[in-house]
Structure 1
Amino acid sequence: MVELAGIANAVARIRLSDLLRITNLTAAQARILAWQVAGAAATDGSRTVDLDSVWVDRYGDVVISGREDRAALAAVLGALATEAERDERDDGSVRAAADAAAAGADRGTILSIVDKDPEPERVLKEIAALVEASGGRRLQPAGRRGRPTRRLRAPAPRPAARAVLRPLWRGLAALIVLGAAVLLEVLLLHDRLAGDLKLVFGDRNPPASTSAPTAPTGLPAVPPAPAAAGQVSRVELRALQPCTTGAPCPVRVLVQLSASPRPVTVSWEFQLEDRCTGARVTAPGSTVTAGAGDTDLSVVDQVQVPAAKSVAMFGVTGEPARASASALQVGGPTC
């Protein structure tokens, strides 16, 4: 990384003083150059190291020429320290090396101060790029060249976010192109695609379901008498347990009466209608006497239900007036 006088003179290079004049170095670049300058000074202690004798070649390496100007090493390191301090990432090591050189420290100590760059190859490539950008040649003495109007800057490292997002953008663009191609194919070849899919997979549409014919609903259950009449204001029939056709059915008969000052005889019967045929049969009920002033009567009775698919059962009072309860359904509602 460090060359002395007479070695690789054919390699394009630039004097360090000129490089500092036309470009701004980062802290890392200034530190790696300071490390090389201090290394060169430590390698050949008899050689004078000043800004005019230090060159940087196209590979980023420091070359010490044979000039014998008597400027101190501290001046070179101080110039590099000034460059490093322009960078907010500067760790102060180059300035510390310059101060050590100015204080007369031995050159091995100076070298150790700046010998800590974790990525020297990367920084050397950056410096090499600066040399290439400057033209990589021996510049004329300062008195015979004009001051450049624009300073070159070190290539800025690519942001990490850009490096991460670039593959994502490429993947998204590929998906957009693929989606557009599929959409175009569907629009242009819709009928053909539908036919091909039908040949491959067959007709997957399930046949239209045909509903099975439903059984006819039974005849409407019409009470054989009005809901109230005379002293009977209401009649109700309740099953005490689930009843089935063709078997006895325990029921509770509830009769509401208007108040009477004397006892009232109450009798009822059961009418059972086959809702599928309309046939109606009568089953015997019971007779009880309600006391004077009684308005509610509740009696448990039992009825034999005919063997039919659907039966409507009515409780019908005969005394003191003819009134009927609503139908009590036994069996299913359909025939």
Structure 2
Amino acid sequence: MTLKTGCHRLMYSLTHQSSMLGVRSRGHSLLSRLGNLESKTGSPSCSWFSTGAALNMRLVQFTDLKGGPQKLGVQPKQDGEITDISSGSGKIPNDLIKLIQGGPELWAEAEKAAAESSIKAQAKDVKLLAPLTAPGKVVCVGLNYRCHCNEQHIEPPHEPMFFSKFASCIVGPTDNVVLPTVSTKVDWEVEMVVVIGKPCRNLKPEKTMDNVFGYTIAQDISARDWQKGRNGGQWLLGKSMDTFCPLGPAVVTAGDFPKGPHVLPLSCSINGVEKQNSNTDQLIHQVDYIISHLSHLFTLLPGDIILTGTPAGVGVFRNPREFLKPGDVIDSEIVGIGKLRNPVVAPQ
């Protein structure tokens, strides 16, 4: 680990612990109850590659507009030129999850390919796909912005509240959100997404950030009638209908965020009208604690993703209530990552 990286991690840890003292002192109760796991099982099982292997890339999955095989590329800026790193190499997979699973040696090959590849594509000539198409886990954090709790007139949770989505609902950054025939109350939620880079088990919060591969954006589309009024109050069905997780446009590696992930403005607009506007510094439970908490419950694996919660401004808590309808366009943006633009279409 470099001196610069070590200083950053120390500053991040001190700042985060100070800012979260009020909530997390109680939120750590689960970890304190489970803290003996490390002493019983040994050191956390997440040392299979060096923590010094930091990447600085903005990775996309794409196809040609006319079709053809999926490709993996590096696109430094949204709508900019893409360097194809998979087509000209026998080593680099065309699937980002496989690249993540390959570890630092394969990552080094990817960086080399990005620097040397002469295979270029223009944004206008390609279709961007979701940067992660089949993660093993899609874990979501509910009620993780204080302003979102306030708009519901509820107290922020002392511990993170988790739910999940099926990976089959993931679509790309420009794909349609198809309204289901079974719901008339479909809503928006912009969220920052954490992409796990290596196996995580029984981690303390201060040991988690080296396990993050990068970050992307999700729209946690939600059928509120199914989420809140049906299926016995379980959220899974209301969150997992087809096309209910636009993802992308890129995975930006953790090395591109020298100040960490908790300084990023995020917003959502419907038909050009801003509905949500906040910053990831408002997360109640921040990334290090979320990963630590989950790692005491089950192993997080490379390519797993965590949706970290949405701020205030969703449709169901507006007066009057607002829900998505055919013809709407959802713009979801996080500064430093990019923007999703997803049209809403009628049931099919």
TM-score normalised by structure 1 residue count: 0.21
Rg larger in structure: 1
